[in-house]
């Protein structure tokens, strides 16, 4: 069961299961979607149900992060 973190655009999170770091780009409450961008630049959309299952911690922006190319 995930920790109770709401998806906040601009906030960075770390998945405690696989140690991946990502930022929430946007949320769509009507469609119940969250768009994530990983440290390596990959972008993914997940639904709120999947978000709630993630075991997350808040984290800082990765060192050297310069955003998308």
- Residue-wise pLDDT for 7-57, tens only, equals 999 999 999 999 999 999 999 999 999 999 999 999 999 999 999 999 999
Q: Which residue has the higher pLDDT, 66 or 6?
A: 6
CA distance to 30, 40, 41, 59, 67, per residue, from 3 (Å) = 22, 24, 24, 14, 26
Distance, CA of 68 to CA of 51 (rounded, Å): 23
- The pTM (predicted TM-score) of the whole model is 0.87
User: Is the confidence at residue 2, as pLDDT, over 50?
Assistant: no
Sequence-distant (6+) residues with CB within 8 A of 9 are 24, 25, 26, 27
Distance, CA of 6 to CA of 49 (rounded, Å): 12
């Amino acid at each position: 069961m995930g920790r109770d973190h709401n998806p906040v655009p601009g906030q960075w999170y770390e998945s405690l299961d696989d140690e991946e770091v990502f930022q929430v780009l946007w949320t769509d409450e009507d469609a119940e979607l969250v768009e994530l961008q990983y440290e390596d630049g990959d972008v993914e959309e997940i639904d709120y149900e999947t978000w709630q299952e993630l075991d997350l911690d808040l984290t800082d922006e990765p060192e050297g992060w310069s955003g998308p190319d």
